[in-house]
Amino acid sequence: MWIDSHCHLDAAEFHDDLEAVLLRAAAAGVDAILAMGGGAAPGTLDGSCRLARRQPAGSLPRLCAAVGIHPHEAARAEAASLTELRQLARADEVVAIGEIGLDFHYDLSPRDCQREIFEQQLDLADELGLPVSIHCRAAWPEVRQVLEPRARAGRPAAGVMHCFAGSETEAREALDLGLYLSFSGMLTFAKAENIRAAARLAPAERILIETDAPFLAPVPHRGKRNEPAWVALTGAKLAELRGAALPALGDQLAENFNALFAPRHP
């Protein structure tokens, strides 16, 4: 029934029990998982690809991969990083560039460097016909400033605002740019009414759900290591908010995921 559209399966938190994690996901009705890329230096970017190539047997969820340089890692990227990223992005298992974007909350890389790497990866996604998974924290005006000229030039970025946590206004602006909104376990947090408002207003054909595991476990697991099985809790909350039947919502989310993340290599 469910697809986890954003998960960090190559994180150290999953090194010891990944197979058990995937078994629990299957038991919870998770059909597919999109594993995000990590790293920045050459040789560190292929973790999600290695996972997706090692497709689990039997009824375990299918895995696909995204590759990208997170804004936290932007300062560690080299010219060779983009060369390697381009090579990895052509692999059959890669369906997106991500996660990429801007993070002005932690500022772990200089802002001008974050923006440069973000722009370069948007160019790569455009070149290869791949969607993007966008990270945005305390930086929506700047993300919008990057995306709007591309849209006006007839080159809108196809993709999703991962782990959407903005206002209703920001949700409408992102939707106007053609982006999907993906909702994480934060949808279940008591003080996240802004996220629930965005989840109610978004068109049915432009929503996704995710775990961002191992981060942001939904209630009642908040504070624990998150895992793909718990995307079902976010799905149930989304169904409640939208007055939707679970099977119908699951089908819609799967249709949305497949529409956005189908391989698009030239």
> Which residue is listed with tokens 């689990």?
56
Which pLDDT belongs to residue 263?
A: 57
* Long-range Cβ pairs for the range 48-54 (8 Å, 24+): 48/9, 48/10, 49/88, 49/91, 49/93, 49/94, 50/10, 51/9, 51/10, 52/93, 52/94, 53/93
Q: How many CB atoms lie within 10 A of CB 72?
A: 17
Which pLDDT belongs to residue 107?
A: 97
Which pLDDT belongs to residue 264?
A: 47
> Which residue is listed with tokens 């206002």?
167
Tokens for 31, please give them.
């059909």
Of the candidates 144, 137, 143, 189, the one whose C-alpha atom is nearest the C-alpha of residue 166 is 137
Residue 173: DSSP 8-state: H
At 220, which amino acid appears? Answer: P
Domain ranges of the chain: 2-218+230-261
pTM of the entire predicted model? 0.96
Which pLDDT belongs to residue 58?
A: 75
Say how many residues make up the chain: 266
Of the candidates 248, 197, 246, 228, the one whose C-alpha atom is nearest the C-alpha of residue 31 is 228
Residue 109: DSSP 8-state: S
For the stretch 13-46, pLDDT in tens is 999 999 999 999 999 999 999 999 889 999 999 9
Taking only the tens of pLDDT, the chain with its 266 residues reads 899 999 999 999 999 999 999 999 999 999 999 999 889 999 999 999 999 998 766 789 999 999 999 999 999 999 999 999 999 999 999 999 999 999 999 999 999 999 999 999 999 999 999 999 999 999 999 999 999 999 999 999 999 999 999 999 999 999 999 999 999 999 999 999 999 999 999 999 999 999 999 999 999 999 999 999 999 999 999 999 999 999 999 999 999 999 999 854 43
Q: Tell the CATH superfamily of the 2-218+230-261 domain.
A: Metal-dependent hydrolases (3.20.20.140)
Q: What share of the chain is helix, strand, coil (3-state, %, to 5)?
A: 45, 15, 35
